[in-house]
Amino acid sequence: MKSLKKLHSKDFTWPVLKALNDLYEKKKTTAKIQQVDYIRYLMAQTELIAQKKGNSNILVAGDGYKEYYEANFQSAYQYYYNFLNQAGIRPDGGKNFTEEDIRTLMVIYESRNELRGNLTNIEDFSGKVFDYAGSKYLKFRNSVRNAVLKILEIDEFPQTSKDLQYRLVVDYPTPKAIILCENKSFLKQPWNAKELEVKLWHVGGNNIAILDNIDEMELVYPMYYSCDWDFHGLEIFQRIKSKLKNRGTEIQILTPPSPHQYLPSDSFMQNSRWNYKVPFSGLDKEVFSSKEREIITKLIKEDLWIEEETNVLKDMFYYNFK
């Protein structure tokens, strides 16, 4: 479930980020990045980067590059660099991670203990954790696979084929709530947890059975659910709500604040469809407040959905938090 905007956003690879940092720290780089579209643009349209006179293999920083780098890349680079060191992954330019890969590695690192105990085969892990890239991804991306193996402190993935049961968590020591997220996007922005003073949970795919075994201690916090507002997301919410009810706990769905960014149900990579054979798409009206029902009715009527990650978590949380 991904919108087109993902494809448009510039997703730099680690070698490029590192080369840009070299240009900042050493004023030059020999990295082979001159064919990268964005670098070509900088060379052709600005004075920020240029080939060194007499040696076209070397790029040098021009006037204003320092300020440009600090404004656009420095904080992200430092963030990734510190993480890779912390995880014991040598941050050299040979690691062809994408930014999304690194953010995913961060989530894996945060939940490494839980994941270690619940591993299955590499295709399953790749498909569920690297869902933006598919089940074959880890197998063929050596540097990413090696990074995962390093983080989990294992030599290889097991061959087993049981269902993967895991919970990805971004922790906060004194949380005022737990937000359960259908997708991993908010977990990849762990500053959310700090800013909002919450814990973020992602339960593996459609596998919410693990909620039956959550430690009692966790259930004392107010719980919220963040999801795509499509049939699939809302239906999962109903099941989660009922599971937690059995544990004596309530959970509140996070309603997106206005203005809503509606998307058509047939958008790219969106597979969830409303069921027009039954009223209210077969959802239980009792589960939702009148305001929530109003939004859902509109979505069904106009065949729309709201993607979880188009919402700003902070705004959505304070809109719902009491």
Partner DNA sequence: TATCCGATGGTAGTTTAAAG
Partner DNA sequence: CTTTAAACTACCATCGGATA
List residues binding DNA (CB under 7 A): 15, 18-19, 30-33, 54-55, 58, 92-96, 140-144, 146
Which one, 3 or 96, has the nearer CB to DNA?
A: 96
What single-letter DSSP state applies at residue 103? H
- Tokens in use for 262? 């509606």
Amino acid at 132: Y
Please tell me the distance from the alpha carbon of residue 89 to that of residue 82, in angstroms, as a whole number.
10
Pairing relation of β-strands 304-306 and 262-264? antiparallel
Which one, 15 or 204, has the nearer CB to DNA?
A: 15
Which one, 33 or 300, has the nearer CB to DNA?
A: 33
Which one, 33 or 240, has the nearer CB to DNA?
A: 33
What phi and psi values does residue 282 have, to the nearest 5 degrees?
85, 5
Q: Dihedral sign, CA of 295, 183, 162, 135?
A: positive
CB of 34 to DNA, least distance (A): 9
Please tell me the distance from the alpha carbon of residue 230 to that of residue 274, in angstroms, as a whole number.
7
Three-state DSSP state, 43: helix
Please tell me the distance from the alpha carbon of residue 38 to that of residue 49, in angstroms, as a whole number.
11
Which one, 37 or 286, has the nearer CB to DNA?
A: 37
